[in-house]
Amino acid sequence: MKLFLREQRPLIFVYIAQLLIITLIYWLDGFRNMEVSIYACLISSCLLVGYLIFRYIANRSFYTRLEHPHASAEPFQGEFSGDPSQTPLAEALQQVLRSQFRHYTTDLHNYKHKIEAHIQFINQWAHQMKTPISVIHLILQKKDDPDSTAIGDELDRLKKGLDLVLHTARLDTFERDFYVETLQLEHVVRSAASEQKRLFIRRKIFPSIHVEAGLTVTSDEKWLSFVLSQLITNAVRYTTAESGKIYFKGFRQDQDIILEIRDEGIGIPRSDLPRVFDPYFTGENGRRYQESTGMGLYLVKQICSKLGHDLSIESTVGVGTTVSIRFHGV
């Protein structure tokens, strides 16, 4: 009703102005019968009100649709259909909306197809790159000179970058690529630390693992191992002191199980902590260490959220950083 009245406001103002002008002309012409003028104005006003009521009833569904738009992805399907009072204006607008919606859905499907094709290409490319990396690793295992060691370290960095690309591309289709099972927490932590042994040796940092015996968690081993590898890489990257340690502590708290990963690194400034899980955010430390991509902690947060694990982080500049993963009990 409000929208209808706003639309008809100019007509009402023009009509009132017309009545006043015509009445004034008759009065200036010497016509002094006020009762007749009032009666004529009343009859004319009744005609106007009747016309407005007819217009409102004829366009009621149209105005209701405009005042209460759909929140669904298909807002124009079936609107105003089957309404015997449908006006030419409503029908014409409906045709325009349907045409625009067809163009919109066509463009949307095209863009979606392009994105899916791009993601598929990235996945295939990353898998193809892993094969030569594995072959080069096998070749380097037979050599023990400094150059081969340096090449091996760079290959590890390249492999981590490919894993980051693969998991980023698969994040949108996470539901198709995970398998939940009961895992021994200590085994998962030790396996993840063992996979990063070259990184620990190169940076002269030692993992210290203290996980209570018998702790089991419900999660996906592949995705959880990726989460741990990202946290280990970050912890080692920002630990500058030689002979430093990365502490892994697993314990039970009420019905939940907590895994803490603590380093003795440079820490994260307090102003950066609220944004460390944002994509592509590198912060102050990222400007000092050019290897930072800003995607590691973002992926960790997203994966933990999809797996149903809570993730939190605490840090003090110059002291270190502690990342906690909470596995909820059943």
Q: Domain with 223 in it: what CATH number?
A: 3.30.565.10
Element (H, E) at 302: helix 296-307
Range of the domain at 29: 2-105
pLDDT per residue over 25-84, tens digit each?
777 767 667 777 777 778 888 888 887 887 777 777 766 766 666 555 555 454 444 454
Same domain, 215 and 316: yes
Q: Cβ(321)–Cβ(267) under 8 Å?
A: yes
Q: Are residues 156 and 193 in the same domain?
A: no
DSSP 312: E
Q: What is the pTM of this model?
A: 0.66
User: Residues 247, 217: one domain?
Assistant: yes
Residue 202 has what pLDDT? 83
Based on the fold, state whether residues 312 and 236 are members of the same structural domain.
yes
Statement to judge: residues 283 and 188 lie in one domain? yes
Query: 219: closest CA among 306, 323, 322?
Result: 306
Distance CA 149, CA 155 (A): 10
CB atoms closer than 10 angstroms to residue 21: 10
For residue 44, give the nearest of 75, 24, 73, 18 by alpha carbon.
Answer: 18
Which residue's structure tokens are 């023009």? Answer: 14
Q: Per the structure block, which two tokens stand in for 148?
A: 């081969």
Please check whether residue 134 is in contact with residue 152, taking contact to mean a CB–CB distance below 8 angstroms.
Answer: no
Confidence of residue 291 (pLDDT cuts 50, 70, 90): low
Would you state the pLDDT for residue 223?
Answer: 92
> In angstroms, rounded to a whole number, what is the distance separating the alpha carbons of residues 301 and 230?
11
Both tokens of 35, joined, read 């009762």
* Percent of the residues in the chain that have a pLDDT greater than 70, as a whole number: 88
Domains: count for the chain: 3
